[in-house]
Amino acid sequence: MRKLTAYNFLALNGFFKGPNEDTSWHTHGAEEARYSEEALAQDASILLFGRKTYEMMVSFWPTPQAKELFPEVAAGMNKAEKFVFSKSPFEPEWENTQVISGDIVEKIREIKKSPGKDMTILGSGTIINLFTDHGLIDEYQFMIDPVALPDGTPIFKNIKQKVALRLTGSKVFNSGVVLLNYQPINK
């Protein structure tokens, strides 16, 4: 059984995007970049996105600017195998990307049963909510910024039921960001 992880940057009050999709509040510290580099360098996971997050990612990571600012992370992101969920199929411009459309819950359930790499969802609130409702997520990893936003998009929205969690790890970064790892208990 492949493991499915959801990895996200959150404000202290549960938003993963501020007003107008703003993510500038997130601390992109050097230490966090190293953590992402190390995770990507292991090349252990397929990266999963919803369409919106994919559009955001593809507009940044393949650019010269990304290669200059975060060379290791950009190389890792570009090289990694990627799945993007989309209501309708499209031709992805990002390298190593496969589009999954149709009944994505059933498709991910099948993929989890098949042999292969683990998977990590980045961003993608809609996908996280859908997969949470179907009990498909094995681990949540949240990078919590020391900021409370006035408004924005909550990472969990309209989930069908509460999710009880087991705390499996925590890590503090110099920037004040706290990484928290949880597994759902009903697993």
Partner 1 sequence: MRKVIVCNIMSLDGYYEGPGKNVMVLFDYRWDAYPTDESFDAYNAERLRAADTLLLGRVSYEGFKGFWPSVADDPKATPIQREISRLNNAIDKVVISDSLTSEETDPWHNTRIIRRADAHEQIAELKRQSGKEILVFGSHTLWNDLLANDLVDELHLMIGPVVLGAGTPLFDGRPPISLRLIDTRTWDGSGNVLVRYEVSRQKT
Determine which helix (DSSP H) or strand (DSSP E) holds 126, and give its type and residue range: helix 125-133
Structure token digits, residue 161: 């039921």
Please list, in sequence order, all residues whose beta carbon lies within 8 angstroms of the beta carbon of residue 131, skipping any fewer than 6 positions away. Answer: 4, 6, 105, 108, 121, 137
Q: Which is nearer to partner 1, 6 or 73 (CB)?
A: 6
Q: Which is nearer to partner 1, 1 or 167 (CB)?
A: 167
Q: Which is nearer to partner 1, 41 or 159 (CB)?
A: 159
Q: Which is nearer to partner 1, 86 or 181 (CB)?
A: 181
* Rounded Cα–Cα distance for residues 48 and 132 (Å): 15
Q: How far is CA 70 from CA 29, 96, 124, 138, 168, in A?
A: 11, 19, 22, 29, 29
Nearest to 50 by CA among 125, 136, 111: 125
* Rounded Cα–Cα distance for residues 2 and 6 (Å): 13
* Rounded Cα–Cα distance for residues 76 and 70 (Å): 10
In the complex, the smallest distance separating the C-beta of residue 90 from partner 1, rounded to whole angstroms, is 31
In the complex, the smallest distance separating the C-beta of residue 32 from partner 1, rounded to whole angstroms, is 13
In the complex, the smallest distance separating the C-beta of residue 18 from partner 1, rounded to whole angstroms, is 8
| Contact set with partner 1 (CB under 8 A) | 11-15, 18, 25, 132, 142, 144, 146-151, 154-159, 161-167, 170, 172, 176-178, 180, 182, 185
Q: Which is nearer to partner 1, 67 or 134 (CB)?
A: 134
